[in-house]
Amino acid sequence: MARPARRLSLPGPERRRRALIGSPVALLLASGLLASCSSQAASLGNQACGYVSRAVRLRNDAASAGSSLRATALRDSAQHDLELAAPIAAQAAGADPTWQALAANLEQINRLPTSLVLPAIRADCEALTSPGG
């Protein structure tokens, strides 16, 4: 019968040295992954805020539309853009909690009048996408 191979263990100091070398490498890899998540979150958040900006423009255009039919169409388009922004902001919030306020406010668009929620959503996007924000 063949004997199982003996596992050679490293002496105590060598084992500690390798553990100490492995720790910074693991830390660098982890920080790289976090930076990647944050970058992805920012990209998603900016995409959501693009929809929000378009919705704000459409709502402003609706306020000055010549006909009620045109105003309704513009408000509907704005609502649709906000509905598109909501899941994207939720993904951003999942990757980086900085985007949670925007995602939470966008969740309210089907529960509350858009005119009440839109100022908060707009402020979230302005704060998050402005330089230094």
pLDDT at 6: 63
Residue 19 belongs to a domain? no
Domain count, the chain: 1
pLDDT at 104: 96
Q: According to the 3-state scheme, what is the secondary structure of 62-124? A: HHCCCCHHHHHHHHHHHHHHHHHHHHHHHHHHHHCHHHHHHHHHHHHHHCCCHHHHHHHHHHH
Residue 72 belongs to a domain? yes
Residue 27 belongs to a domain? no
Q: Identify the domain containing residue 103 by its residue range.
A: 41-129
Residue 61 belongs to a domain? yes
Residue 16 belongs to a domain? no
pLDDT at 1: 59
Residue 92 belongs to a domain? yes
Mean pLDDT by 10 residues, the chain (133 residues): 61 60 51 58 95 97 93 96 97 95 95 94 93 62
